[in-house]
Amino acid sequence: MLNKEILLKKCNKTVLITGSKLLASTNLFPAISLYCAGNRRHPQPIIAALAPGGQQFRNEESGKVIAYLERIKQPLRRLKAIGPSAPRGETHDRVSQRHDYPGSQSRHYSVYVPPGYRRDKPLPLVMVLHGCRQDHRDIQLVSDFDCVADRYNFIVVYPFVTRYTDLRARNCWGWWRPEQIKPGAGEVEDLWRIVGEVAGEFAIDQRRVHIAGLSSGGAMAVAALTVHAGRFASGAAVAGVPYGESASAVALPYTLMRRYRPLDTTVALMEKARDSDRTPAPICIVHSHNDDTVHIQAGKNLRDSWIEYFGPQKKLSKRKRKKSTHGVPWSHTRYGKRFGKSVVETIFLAGPDHGWYGGSPGRFSYPAGPDVSKLLWKFFRKHRLMSDGTTSGVAMRGRQSDHAGFGR
């Protein structure tokens, strides 16, 4: 049986979705085209049904398909043309073996290399962590970071938590467990070792290594930025929590009421966890006001902890812009020195719930809304490490020391 596909052209974008359920009620046709006239700001869908080889279907069959697509045209437009074009690079699956420090485990990971890669030209690296009840392939699919990497020429690595010995929800990163988020141990150290392995195989610019994650992956990204201060140039948390929070900060079956640590406690934990005297890199925080799993307050607390760590808020300028994308309102706020780069950025949106926004359909994904992956890359590319482990254009608190490079 032929796979049903939707080939959708929106202005200059082409999207291919295989195995789509949108055509579940019709078993007639393997391919459908939806063209876009007009312009980027005001697209006008034009529907045509095509047979294999590009020939028009017979009138009777074509009419049935067009009638069906007319019914789903508005949902398709709300889904932001379903997603971006298919990735053009290559994915390499790897395994990082267990190391000899406490809490280390063998972990699978995938490396996406864009088509423009050359061994003699080091590229930036973005590490993207999945959330609970996901794996590395899920976050690779729903985030669409591969397509952003194709356009802007960087490498993406998707680690998989793979295995753990304690009690937790399926495939969660252990962001609330002290032994997993302290220097030289556990998952947070394994992640940095994976960075080193990727850098040993591919040409990576060590000044431009960034990390992001969703949910428990966002919380672990925060831990990595804190523990490995001066190693990552910048990072991001989508529906994450501050460093050192307990499991009671999120909605769990046994949690009657969410509880958060005081701000001064969080900052003290960040100070204690730093690997040497470096300072955590700038962060972008993405969170939905309607998140029922990780409440928006967690995102605000994360913002406040980073601002407090970098210095009193009154010393930072604040720039806020309000926008709306495909019916989802959102605000983008930047905190930083007036003439420097931002220390903290927040993207708070009125999306449906807990998940990644603006990518492809999948588990914990909301395609309607701002393209989070593209916004994160625009944030990442503004930041790179200097030779002393600080981030260019950002005045950081604390003493400075030499950048450690990859590995130990």
pLDDT attached to residue 151: 95
Q: Is 282:309 a contact under the CB 8 Å cutoff?
A: no
**CATH fold of the domain at 90-380:** Rossmann fold (3.40.50)
User: What does the pLDDT look like over 45-84, one tens digit per residue?
Assistant: 433 333 333 344 444 445 555 555 555 555 544 444 444 5
User: What does the pLDDT look like over 135-176, one tens digit per residue?
Assistant: 999 999 999 999 999 999 999 999 999 988 887 889 999 999
Res 200 pLDDT > 90: yes
User: What does the pLDDT look like over 80-115, one tens digit per residue?
Assistant: 444 456 889 999 999 999 999 999 999 999 999 999
More confident call, 281 vs 35: 281
Domain with CATH 3.40.50.1820 in the chain: 90-380
